[in-house]
Amino acid sequence: MKKRIYYHDTDSGGVVYYANYLKYMEEARTEFFEQRGIFIGELVRGGTSFVVARQEIDYKLPAFYGDILDVSTKITGISTAKIEFSHQVKNQNNQVITVAKTIMVCVDGNIKPKAIPGKLKESLAFVPEEVRPE
């Protein structure tokens, strides 16, 4: 996913505020699902959603106002109720800005863990592992 950095993404020094990378990764995961025909709103209405159970992030270089970031997302593991995503953010010069791992847990409408529905798990397991929306 391409992401242009606007003024509101930065701190007073023009550097991307560190927590904003979590938003960019969330957006990339949403794109990842949608490119597979999986729409979060439909899942939620059907009683299935995902919550972040663990987040790891390493900041390698700063990104700045005006940069164009490339946020790549891939699944690195799926179990009964969890999906592990790997993220990498690069700038327009192909320099790695951040790398991260996000573990999502499938939950029901009461936020109780549940098994990932079979059809959903199939959709995630039999597709290319990396998505780069145009």
Q: What is the pLDDT of residue 8?
A: 96
> Which domains occur in the chain, in start order?
2-131 (3.10.129.10)
pTM confidence score: 0.87
Q: What is the pLDDT of residue 69?
A: 98
Return the bridge partners of 16, or none: 10
Q: Give the Cα separation of 18 and 20 in Å (integer).
A: 5
pLDDT in tens, 70-105: 999 999 999 999 999 999 999 999 999 999 999 999
Q: Give the Cα separation of 134 and 130 in Å (integer).
A: 13
Q: What is the pLDDT of residue 92?
A: 98
What lies within 8 Å, CB to CB, of 94 at 6+ separation is: none
DSSP state of 129: S
**Positions of the chain with pLDDT lower than 70, given as ranges:** 126-134
Helix, strand, coil content of the chain in percent (nearest 5): 25, 40, 35
So which residues are the catalytic ones? 11
